[in-house]
Amino acid sequence: MPRRLYTCTPSRLNTWLDCPRRYRMTYLDRPAPPKGPPWAHNSVGASVHNALAAWWRLDLPERTPEMAGTLLMRGWLTDGFRDEAQSAEWRERAREMVERYATGLDPADEPLGVERTVATRTDQIAVSGRIDRLDARGAELVVVDYKTGRHILTSDDARGSLALALYAIAASRVLRRPCHRVELHHLPTGEVAVWDHTDESLARHLRRAESIAAEAAAADEAYKTRIPKPRQAEGLAVDHTPYDETFPPRPGNLCAWCDYARHCPEGQEAAPRKESWAALPVETA
């Protein structure tokens, strides 16, 4: 019998690496455990991404910096903020952010894709993902990923990103054009972190993805066929005992940002959950 391909996204693979327990609760448990409150920084990121995607879909004469700000205001998401005042402050900051970024764009330089889904497969995995923007520069494709967080990005972030590498591989195969450059556009600072992959470095990322997928696929199979169903008493957290060997928690600082922290005693002990607006930069919170 042919081997069944492991269907995944880069996010799924990275979740397995970060914490198998969170992976299980995210992708396998049905119904999934209730998540914690939404995060304000995710609202900022989604609002900015949506505005820039909509901007590129406008007719050319409408692609002005001011219109980018208008689109941001129209589609502003309010989840996770401390109160209406904080949301309004960040809406204005995000408007300024996207207008400043759009000022540096050539509206006539049409991308090959905006929020473009690409996919590829090997003999082990079928991987897909959505690229924020796919540019054509000469004969090459360039993967562009927008970032709005407070972390200052470097070329090492671009080089080490499994997601960007897989996007580059998939885009190249789908569009039959070479794709080696990946870029992280940090809108708060205007900085761009760039990495030019080689065929060999992309192949290494693909082998790494297959290795992660093999572990996750084995755990998925164990969940389906050998591990008892989860037990949950009325009003109590899930009993993780049958899962801990296959889906162990990996407690650490990241637990403070986990959507499933309230279902994980080890995570709560390692790092209490942050306030939903805690990832917004301190000086502008």
| pTM score, whole prediction | 0.91
Predicted local confidence at residue 45, as pLDDT? 97
Q: Is residue 149 part of a domain?
A: yes
Q: Is residue 163 assigned to a domain?
A: yes
In a domain? residue 170? yes
**3-state secondary structure at position 137:** strand
Minimum mean pLDDT range among 108-117, 142-151, 228-237: 228-237
Total domain count, the chain: 1
For residue 256, is it within any domain?
no
The reported pLDDT for the residue numbered 177 is 97
The CATH number that applies at residue 276 is 3.90.320
Residue numbers of the domain that contains 202: 26-208+269-285
Q: Percentage of residues in the chain with pLDDT exceeding 70?
A: 92
Sequence-distant (≥ 6) Cβ neighbours of residue 215 within 8 angstroms:
16
User: Does 153 map to a domain?
Assistant: yes
What pLDDT was estimated at residue 166?
Answer: 98
Q: What does the pLDDT look like over 126-149, one tens digit per residue?
A: 999 999 999 999 999 999 999 999
Percent of the chain past pLDDT 90, that is, above it, reads: 87
Inform me whether the pLDDT recorded for 226 exceeds 80: no
Q: How confident is the model at residue 68 (pLDDT cuts 50, 70, 90)?
A: very high
Tokens at 122, concatenated: 């090997």
Question: What span, in angstroms and rounded, lies between the C-alpha atoms of 37 and 79?
Answer: 8
Asked if residue 57 is part of any domain, the answer here is yes
User: Is pLDDT at 28 greater than 50 in this prediction?
Assistant: yes
**What's the average model confidence in pLDDT over 38-42?**
97
pLDDT of 229 reads 59
Is 143 within the bounds of a domain? yes
β-bridge pairing 113-121 and 125-137: antiparallel
Residue at 179 is within a domain: yes
